[in-house]
Chain A
């Protein structure tokens, strides 16, 4: 069993951001969902007892500062006829950032995370059709010279979670 809880030397985001109670409530509320009606921000703002303009201003700051990475509809790739897969490579340390740039340059790469393991770069590919996954993997292998470990899901048990701010 390998369970090392090493504290990484390279945390990108320190937890030193200024969020007040209202920001936290906005983040928690908007993770639950967002109404589809003519003035949805107004509706949410009323529930939070702030003005529509304040909600819009705060949302803008939360997005610009990266506290929120996205705000909008979350699409389900497979339900759109598309495909998703999780893949990993063993990127040599001395060339790590170059490999990351190469992989990130593909618009089909939706997320990419550095992880502490021999397989040290893990990315999600999202394509419009299942047939497009394999050629992209092939192209990434050719471009990086690395073997891509493709791990498409066999079964999904759960996708969700609300992170309390």
Chain B
């Protein structure tokens, strides 16, 4: 990534312009050609710097009122196998292995679930529990009650280190 990629990131991190030719608008802002801007975006998409270009909905406003961070205490030796299985469930949006903070926090597997009803959330949790079986020692579900902030990634253009 060079300084032009950084400028592209800075110019788009709040979102794409809602103009008929958004890439042309961005290119003018950065003072490169539209072709170069599009090539760089494609390149960043191929290398994984951009996960995807698209829309992120507010879960609550789409009716997904039950957004639970399910956390599980899993035997470390099985966590990669089980984490991969849980991550492939179609209602799980994020699935990670994270460190414990003993004694207060014993959970090492995190899976985010999204449901429109309590019943459907309960079914999702049961499904995860069934998959984990005896390798799960305990679990909890932390429901979000409010979004306190959601801005996505922000970088400052001048604070470049790489």
The listed residue (A72, A77, A126, A129) touching B16 by CB distance below 8 A is: A72
Q: Is the CB of A11 within 8 A of B145?
A: yes
Q: Is the CB of A154 within 8 A of B143?
A: no
**A137 interfacial by beta-carbon distance below 8 Å:** no
- B144 / chain A contacts, CB cutoff of 8 Å: 113-115, 122
The listed residue (B57, B87, B142) touching A163 by CB distance below 8 A is: B57
Q: Is the CB of A117 within 8 A of B54?
A: no
- A116 / chain B contacts, CB cutoff of 8 Å: 142-143, 145
Q: How far is the CB of B105 from chain A (nearest CB, A)?
A: 6
**A111 interfacial by beta-carbon distance below 8 Å:** yes
Q: Is the CB of B57 within 8 A of A86?
A: no
Q: Tell me which residues from 102 to 120 in chain A have a Cβ below 8 Å from any Cβ of chain B.
A: 103-104, 107-119
**Digit string of B33-69 for contact with A (CB within 8 Å is 1, else 0)?**
0100010011011011111111111111111111001
Q: Is the CB of B88 within 8 A of A158?
A: yes
**A93 interfacial by beta-carbon distance below 8 Å:** no
Give 5 A-B contacts (CB < 8 Å), ordered by A residue: A11-B65, A34-B54, A73-B41, A73-B53, A165-B62
12 new A-B contacts, CB < 8 A, other than A31-B57, A70-B56, are: A15-B63, A30-B55, A40-B23, A66-B61, A114-B144, A115-B69, A119-B105, A128-B156, A157-B83, A158-B86, A161-B92, A163-B57
